[in-house]
Amino acid sequence: MTIKARPGSVSVHASPYEQWVDRQSVPEDDSEKSAMPPPGFLGESSSSAVIAELNDSLGETQTEASRTQTDKDITDEQIHRGAAVLYHLQDLDSLLKCLEWWLSLGEGYTLFRPVYNIWVADLYRFFNTTLREVPQKQRLQYLSRLVWRNTSKPMHATGKTTVEEWALQASGENLRWETVGLFFSALGMNSYVLSSEDTTYRTVGSQGTRATIAKMMLRLANECLGMSQACGIHTDLYMCLLYERSPLVERIRGDLSAEAWTRFSEVCNTAVELGLHKEKRVDTHTPFFLCELRIRLFETIYAHDKYVSTYLGRPPRISYRHCVIQLPSDLSDDEICGDENVLIAALAKLQNGYATSGKITRATRRRASLIHYIIREDILEIVLGNPHEDVSSRVEQIRERIKLAVAEMPAFMNVNLEELLSTVRHGMTLQIPGRNVPWQPMDVLRALGFHCVLRHTDFLLERALYRRCKSDPSRLIASACSLLDLAMKTHTKATYLQDFQADIVEIVSCPDLVQKSQYTDLFAAGILRLAERCCAGNRAFQARPAGHS
């Protein structure tokens, strides 16, 4: 007996391209078109929580609407829009050449670097096998439709999902707009890392300057975010891309731009929508690496929110009073993404939450700095809050919290940074206290980032007290001098740290080390000049040499 295939059915022996062509004849199903994506996190005070509690007491279950985009949902306009973006992904070799140095560092910005390595290997396989079967003229349209369809599906995980299994849900045949956008955002940030003489970045565009390439990458990342939003699925990768766009916008448009403010507001709103402000834990749906990614992502967003609020003098968007802010583990990307034995061994070596060997990682600095961003939120409350509040006692309490936080830091974070910057140089074997490895530029950079946060927090506190109470300015002057000295010492190491300018965006939210030092230099020098005028004749003020003012 011969069974005839129904119209639109797909042969299991057909190539992926033939399967795609065959699917175009499948009758359109309108049954799911009206379904809306879920509204996101709804807390205990929401009406939905009350209804859910009532349903639970009555023994009823509430089903949640879901939406899966079919090929017929994808319009020609969407396909052309996606193809225009994917055009820039065609030359994979050139793209990866620009990211080669960054990938060799061992750490990503928000997403773990091994995930990018998995994506790269799978994209090479996909581009050189499946995609080659598609006629050249139809390749971009085919790939665009595929990515649209993939992005409309959620990503799944269980407590036993591996990093590779999770990453492969967003690469190759499962390529998503979030993945494409993360490559473009990384290219945009790294266009500023290369020296002005390096022409590597020109391989991703025919236009001549790094700034032009960065702007093009920002535009492409924005397109990927817009298309991902149109699919209605907010994944962890979407959250990573949404955040990584913010430093790129600040670098290109400026920290004071309205676009930078509104873009980062979207980051904060989406983080809450996804429930990242609640406690993150390993469970049957969340493996360790995914839990750690969410902890680090929310911590990074929280800290950046405090920087932006401080810089602009505006209230923060996220408060620790309504969140569970967890400390990231002091583990490298390779340790988190390694097999179970590697992870267990790394966790066993932690003492008071910090690793006892190896280089200083991005997570090390984040862990050490987090308490100071929480303290900074209280300082912002003093500066921007009730003008009639007695602040003297609160300032003293915050001073004690700062002292306690510093005392609890590991030895390598409590080094004399000016002395370290005076001593360290290429080729030296000076050991990091308690880590059993020599200082490298990246380690120095991250120690510098921690001390920038610490000293800036101290300065903000003393300035708040002086402005509110018109108290003795000697503490404010000393704090400003400390900032200024660190900035000037950093200037002397600009060449030593030049390969890591992009990391400064995360550390101090400024484009590069030299610009950050100039900003701090002017900022602290301005305070010193103001103090000099206010305290003329005051013995507490010791005039600084002209070169330091």
Please determine, for residue 461, whether its predicted confidence score (pLDDT) is greater than 90: yes
C-alpha 126: how far from chain center = 28
- Name the average pLDDT for the chain: 80
Query: Rounded to whole angstroms, what are the CA distances from 146 to 25, 69, 448, 457?
Result: 16, 11, 45, 48
The residue with tokens 């379904």 is 35
Please tell me which residue, 315 or 97, carries the higher pLDDT value.
315
pLDDT at 59: 56
pLDDT at 493: 77
pLDDT at 181: 97
Q: Assign 522 a pLDDT band (cuts: 50, 70, 90).
A: low
Please tell me which residue, 271 or 440, carries the higher pLDDT value.
271
Mind giving me the DSSP string for 121-154? HHHHHHHHTTGGGS-GGGHHHHHHHHHHHHHTSP
Q: Assign 445 a pLDDT band (cuts: 50, 70, 90).
A: confident
pTM for the predicted model, two decimal places? 0.82
Going 327 to 331 to 336 to 337, the CA torsion angle's sign is: positive
Please tell me which residue, 279 or 188, carries the higher pLDDT value.
279
**29-33, 294-298, 476-480: range with highest mean pLDDT:** 294-298
Please determine, for residue 219, whether its predicted confidence score (pLDDT) is greater than 60: yes
Query: CA-to-CA distance for 483 and 423, rounded, in angstroms?
Result: 19
- Least Cα distance to 328 among 301, 296, 351 occurs for 296
The mean-pLDDT minimum among 188-192, 415-419, 476-480 falls in 188-192
**Mean pLDDT over residues 73-93, rounded?**
90
pLDDT at 69: 56
pLDDT at 27: 43
Element spanning 80, H or E: helix 76-86
Please determine, for residue 218, whether its predicted confidence score (pLDDT) is greater than 50: yes
Please determine, for residue 263, whether its predicted confidence score (pLDDT) is greater than 90: yes
- Least Cα distance to 21 among 30, 29, 31, 9 occurs for 9
Please tell me which residue, 207 or 81, carries the higher pLDDT value.
81
Please determine, for residue 202, whether its predicted confidence score (pLDDT) is greater than 60: no
pLDDT at 167: 97
pLDDT at 32: 37
Write b or e for each residue in 263-290: b if 16 or more Cβ atoms lie within 10 A of its Cβ, otherwise e: bbeebbebbbbbebbeebeeeeebbbbb
Please determine, for residue 297, whether its predicted confidence score (pLDDT) is greater than 90: yes
**Mean pLDDT over residues 264-280, rounded?**
95
**Mean pLDDT over residues 17-21, rounded?**
46
Please determine, for residue 291, whether its predicted confidence score (pLDDT) is greater than 80: yes
Please determine, for residue 402, whether its predicted confidence score (pLDDT) is greater than 90: yes
Please tell me which residue, 102 or 358, carries the higher pLDDT value.
358
pLDDT at 8: 38
Q: How many helices (H) and strands (E) does the chain have?
A: 21, 0
Please determine, for residue 20, whether its predicted confidence score (pLDDT) is greater than 50: no
pLDDT at 194: 60
Digit-coded pLDDT (tens) for 341-362: 999 999 999 998 999 999 999 8
Please determine, for residue 142, whether its predicted confidence score (pLDDT) is greater than 60: yes
The domain limits of the chain are 70-274
The mean-pLDDT minimum among 2-11, 333-342, 498-507 falls in 2-11
Torsion on CA atoms 114, 119, 120, 122, rounded to nearest 10: 130
**H helices present in 232-361, as ranges:** 236-253, 258-273, 288-312, 333-337, 340-348
